[in-house]
Amino acid sequence: MVDLLGWLRALPQPLLLLAVAATIVAEAGLLIGVFLPGASAAIALGVIARAGTVNPALAAGTVALAAVAGTHFAYLRGRAGALPTPRRLAGPREHAVRLLRRSGPLALCFAQWLVAVRTLTPRLAGFAGLGYRRFAMASVPSGLTWGVVLTTLGHLAAGAYESLTQVFGFGAAGVVAVLALAWLLARRTVSARTTRRDRSDPGGQTSECVAGPA
């Protein structure tokens, strides 16, 4: 694994800020971003800021603005229809689109804090036709908060860098996977119970006696 913190520390300040910003924008704005360490880069910048290499406020502002820019780029790509999906994933994609149409802002706020999910959700929001105003009302404050919080955590808890990257990186993805699996199992259980109930009471029909003409 690349020593991200060590690599960033070796950069001069302008390149350091540019590298972190580019990583965060690409993580949210490009589909390959699911493999990029955006959260780790944000926390690492906070750790470096504690050492005095870069101003803490400048570090937090860079990360926050990059997060907002990345989600906006992804949203615009989604509005343009740029959402390539394998045929076997077309069903889950449609479920996600319907969810975003119903509870778009809430889903966007939640997605910002989860690796991989924050890459796909803004693009799905654009693809689903979520209005820009609704998107921005959730995306901008979420992105700004995410950037400031992660950079501040890195600055305040520099010694816990590895633990923080686990929590806000792929460790969070594991939590999402478990929750998704639980949701699928619950949905399947409810569906099976509904099917059994329908079979035991087919239509709930009642017989009626119709009197014929006298």
Ranges 13-22, 99-108, 182-191: which has the least confidence: 182-191
Is the pLDDT at 202 greater than 60? The verdict is: no
Ranges 8-17, 90-99, 175-184, 196-205: which has the least confidence: 175-184
* Beta carbons of 13 and 54 less than 8 angstroms apart: yes
* Number of alpha carbons in the 13 Å side-chain half-sphere of residue 155: 18
On whether residue 211 sits in a domain, the answer given is no
Range of the domain at 60: 4-196
Is the pLDDT at 207 greater than 50? The verdict is: no
On whether residue 26 sits in a domain, the answer given is yes
Stretch 170-181: mean pLDDT, rounded? 43
On whether residue 206 sits in a domain, the answer given is no
Distance of CA 148 to the CA centre of its chain: 17
Name the pLDDT band for 113 (thresholds 50, 70, 90). Answer: confident
Structure-token pair, residue 24 = 């965060």
On whether residue 214 sits in a domain, the answer given is no
Give the per-residue pLDDT at 186.
55
Our count of domains for the chain comes to 1
d(CA 146, CA 144): 5
On whether residue 207 sits in a domain, the answer given is no
Ranges 12-26, 117-131, 177-191: which has the least confidence: 177-191
Ordered DSSP codes for 86-143: -GGGHHHHHHHHHHHHHHHHHHHHHHTTSTTHHHHHHHHHHHTT--HHHHHHHHHHHH
Which three-class secondary structure state does DSSP give residue 68? Answer: helix
On whether residue 123 sits in a domain, the answer given is yes
* Beta carbons of 119 and 33 less than 8 angstroms apart: yes
On whether residue 208 sits in a domain, the answer given is no
Stretch 67-86: mean pLDDT, rounded? 84
pLDDT greater at residue 91 or residue 108: 108
On whether residue 205 sits in a domain, the answer given is no
Give the per-residue pLDDT at 91.
63
